């Protein structure tokens, strides 16, 4: 499938139209941002690594009955996906407390919560992607209660599948962010990516961070960490 016009450019990816109105090509860049774009940089080969990791994880999820936008990997940095209308919500799952939740609620990073935590944030750069609740999301017309119910149920299934996959490779899935979208039939599908950019992944034995926190916190060894995840997933 040949790329046509660029229809969207995000922080880490570009989206191109194709001759088929229901398909797009997603191109993975090396650009990295943190703190809502305040910190900018590039991570060498990140686009290539994240394209492969997303392809591997989305193939695993599809095999286990999760509907995703992913169709096939076309090249090092490009993948073919179903065109979706993105629901402007970031759905976050926390299995271990870290990052913004640790910071906001003054809880020590690494604390295990009594239950899995599901959050939604309004995907809006101008507002800084704020944490909102279901009522805000429905009241603002971003989604419906029925759609949210489906989103949460699918997210819980995705969490179980991802946790098992990473666990068997000696990695704790601390938390992650996913996004959903509607296809031309109005069905809700998993969109976007699942990569070390969007997950916190800690080595079970050493506690080493194998994710974007290495970039956010200037820990070094960023590309090596992403490659380690790629290797463990056999991608
Ligand atoms: O920053 P915070 O602790 O809320 O992030 C929770 C999880 O969601 C982390 O794995 C982070 O990488 C991911 N996330 C993301 N994109 C955002 C916000 C958070 O991928 N805009």
Helix ranges (H only) for 23-174 are 46-63, 99-105, 134-139, 145-167
Residue 8, number of CB atoms within 10 A of its CB = 12
By most ligand atoms within 8 Å of CB, the mutation choice from 155, 177, 214 for ligand 1 is: 177
* Rounded CA separation 61/203 (Å): 22
Give the pLDDT mean for 100-105. 98
* Rounded CA separation 117/156 (Å): 10
Which pLDDT value is given to residue 119?
A: 98
Pick the residue whose CA is nearest to atom 18 on ligand 1: 177
Model confidence pTM above 0.90: yes
Which pLDDT value is given to residue 36?
A: 82
What tens digit of pLDDT does each residue of 18-59 get?
999 999 999 999 999 998 889 999 999 999 999 999 999 999
Which pLDDT value is given to residue 92?
A: 99
What tens digit of pLDDT does each residue of 108-149 get?
999 999 999 999 999 999 999 999 999 999 999 999 999 999
Helix, strand or coil for residue 34?
A: strand
Give the pLDDT mean for 199-217. 98
* Rounded CA separation 195/55 (Å): 10
192 CB within 6 A, ligand 1:
no
193 CB within 6 A, ligand 1:
no
**Matching residue, tokens 């997303």:** 54
Which pLDDT value is given to residue 1?
A: 77
CA separation, residue 96 to residues 121, 170, 188, 218, 223 (Å): 18, 15, 27, 22, 24
As a whole-number percent, the residues of the chain with pLDDT over 90 amount to 97
Tell me the CA–centroid distance for residue 185 and ligand 1, in Å.
29
Q: Calculate helix-pair angle for 46-63, 145-167, nearest 10 degrees.
A: 110
Which pLDDT value is given to residue 204?
A: 98
Within 8 A by CB and 6+ apart from 63, the residues are none
């Amino acid at each position: 499938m040949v790329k046509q016009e660029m229809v969207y450019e995000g922080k880490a990816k570009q989206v191109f139209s194709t001759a088929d109105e229901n398909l797009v090509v997603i191109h993975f860049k090396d650009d990295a941002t943190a703190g809502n774009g305040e910190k900018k940089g590039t991570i060498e080969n990140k686009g290539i690594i994240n394209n492969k990791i997303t392809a591997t994880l989305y193939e695993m999820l599809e095999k286990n009955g999760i509907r995703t936008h992913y169709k096939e990997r076309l090249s090092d940095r490009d993948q073919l996906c179903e065109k979706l209308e993105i629901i402007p919500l970031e759905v976050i799952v926390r299995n271990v407390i870290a990052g913004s939740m640790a910071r906001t609620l003054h809880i020590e990073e690494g604390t295990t919560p009594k239950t899995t935590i599901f959050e939604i944030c309004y995907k809006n750069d101008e507002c800084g992607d704020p944490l909102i609740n279901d009522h805000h999301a429905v009241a603002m017309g971003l989604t419906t209660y029925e759609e949210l119910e489906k989103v949460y149920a699918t997210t819980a299934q995705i969490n179980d599948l991802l946790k098992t996959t990473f666990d068997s490779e000696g990695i704790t899935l601390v938390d992650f962010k996913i996004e959903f979208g509607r296809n031309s039939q109005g069905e809700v599908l998993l969109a976007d990516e699942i990569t070390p950019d969007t997950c916190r992944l800690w080595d079970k034995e050493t506690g080493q961070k194998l994710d974007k926190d290495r970039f956010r916190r200037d820990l070094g060894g960023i590309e090596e960490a992403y490659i380690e995840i790629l290797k463990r997933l056999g991608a």
